[in-house]
Amino acid sequence: MLLSLKDIFVNDGMKSEYQYTLSLLDVDIDGIYPFKSPVSVNAVVKNKTGLVTLDVDAEYDYLRPCDRCFTDVDTHFKQHFSHRLVESLEGDYNDEYIETTDYKLDLSELVTTDILLSLPSKYLCKGDCQGLCHKCGHNLNLGDCECDKREIDPRLEALKELLD
């Protein structure tokens, strides 16, 4: 969604609201398409004494397997993002401001970037997920498996053979 913001930049106290849905169903993250519903976006752009701000509320369903135990985890996210908008950046690049060249802003691109950057790098079903047994593949969150838990240092394997 391309926003034209000239009226907001030139008029103190002006405010505009936008509501739409953004489809991220075709976004591939690590070979998975985790967005199971379109993103509901509510955005407000306002000029308060010359400072133009953008506030975005995004809501969506996200389904992805846990990185440790591979159990599917269905999560409903509600996220808030805020940005300060400027007409142009002078000098060096500054990531605290969003430049709106010709008073135009691609809101869909910005919301997509915000959502993707806010996702965790490791996605877990719970903070203390035990994962899978490295020998038999049993989900350790469901209980212990029957595997021998003793670990023998490979350097001492020859001594074990002498004892057997």
The single residue listed with the structure tokens 């060096």 is: 92
Is residue 41 within 8 A of residue 80, CB to CB? The reply is no
How far is 10 from 48, CA to CA, in rounded Å? 11
CA distances from 139 to 68, 126, 144 (A): 9, 13, 8
Is residue 28 within 8 A of residue 116, CB to CB? The reply is no
Q: What is the pLDDT of residue 8?
A: 86
Q: What is the pLDDT of residue 92?
A: 64
Q: Where are the beta strands (DSSP E) in the chain?
A: 2-4, 15-22, 39-48, 51-65, 72-86, 97-99, 104-106
Q: What percent of the chain has pLDDT over 70?
A: 97
Is residue 101 within 8 A of residue 9, CB to CB? The reply is no
Q: Could you list the pLDDT tens digit for every one of the 164 residues in the chain? A: 888 888 888 888 889 999 999 999 999 988 889 999 999 999 999 998 888 999 999 999 999 999 999 999 999 999 999 999 988 777 666 678 888 888 899 999 999 999 999 998 888 999 899 999 888 889 989 988 888 777 777 787 777 777 76
CA distances from 123 to 59, 115, 119, 143 (A): 18, 14, 8, 21
The domain limits of the chain are 2-129
Structure letter (DSSP) for residue 25: T
CA angle 120, 122, 62 (to 5 degrees): 55
